[in-house]
Amino acid sequence: MTATLLALALLIAAVGPAAWRLRRSPAFITGRDGRLSTSTALALAWTVILVWLLVAVLAHALTTGDSTRYLNADPGPLSPLATVYLPLLGGPYTALIGAKAVVGIRLQHGTLAKPASASPHRPLRELIANDSGRTDLVDLQYVALNTVTMLYVVAAFLADAEAGLPDLPPQLWALTGAPAGAYLLNKLATRPNPVITAVSLTNDTLTVRGGGFTPDARLELNGTPVPTTAPTPDTLTTPLPHPTHPLTAVVTSHGLRSDPYTHTPPTHTPAPHTPTTPTPTEDERTPAGDEGTPAGDERTPAGDELTPPGARPGR
């Protein structure tokens, strides 16, 4: 029981910080296009599990008081390492190295498009999806079978941690090796379909971003072909004044169609009308002299009214 609790504590100590770090900065397990790499993520997961198993066995050996006898026993706690666990690790790493080589060669020769992701977020769904965001059956089976195998290995070890590495069936490596081979063949067989990653509308111009766009690429909006201007390998633009309904964009290049991408134009709410008060004219602001300002003889009394009769002026 003590060995099991110790192994469980070590597992939490290994997986917790690693998961937190990868969630904040997943660049370590992303591919050339900025998306999560399925082969890299699974190879890393198997590495963490194998390191955890070895550390847990070593920690238990140090707590027994006779670590030399425990480790050198026949069969010892590490006996299945070469026959079962290293082949389990070999399949994902073969897929990782092979996928990197295949993708690099195809990108260099222009037979594969890997447009950068338009979203800054890295959802786990990218592990089982293609570049267009749709679920890929080959990636799904690769991730699912490896995940189940990992859980089986962890549960078998925690069930009897004192005995060391559990003696798993030798055929268990097929659950990681066969999916890895299918994953690698899928990388070889993938056609360079055009991919749409983002659609934006600015100043009555619709911009479609992605990858694999050839000079003769054709853009369709809601099933209708539209003319494009200044096409580039990753951008198509077309004039589109004031659309009011959702748009579904599809790019066709060399007879290959991209997955549909739906864009909903933002709705513009008209600004509320504020009544304005007319500005009075100069004549309205300043009354006429005879109406607003008294006449000269009314403002200033006449001289004979200011000076009494017979008096000298100035007195």
CB atoms within 10 A of CB 148: 11
pLDDT tens digits, 223-235: 889 988 878 888 8
What value does the mean pLDDT take over residues 59-81?
A: 78
Cα→Cα distances 181→30, 35, 50, 124, 281, Å: 21, 21, 21, 22, 87
Domains of the chain: 2-189 (no CATH), 195-263 (2.60.40.10)
Residue 48's H or E segment, with its range, is helix 38-64
pLDDT tens digits, 148-160: 999 999 898 888 8
Contacts of 15 (CB under 8 A, 6+ apart): 48, 52
Terminal Cα distance for the chain, rounded: 126
Give the SS3 label for residue 94. helix
Percent of residues, the chain, with pLDDT higher than 70: 75
User: What global pTM score does this model have?
Assistant: 0.63
Closest CA to 121 of 253, 57, 30: 30
pLDDT tier at 294 (50, 70, 90 boundaries)? Answer: very low
- Strand 247-253 and strand 229-232: pairing? unpaired
CA torsion through residues 49, 55, 58, 64, sign = negative
Average pLDDT, the chain: 76
Q: Which residues of 291-300 are buried (b: 16+ CB within 10 A; e: fewer)?
A: eeeeeeeeee
Cα→Cα distances 285→277, 289, 290, 292, 296, Å: 14, 12, 15, 11, 22
**Who has greater pLDDT, 291 or 187?**
187
Cα→Cα distances 309→276, 304, 306, Å: 60, 7, 10
pLDDT tier at 142 (50, 70, 90 boundaries)? Answer: very high
- Residue 38 pLDDT more than 50? yes
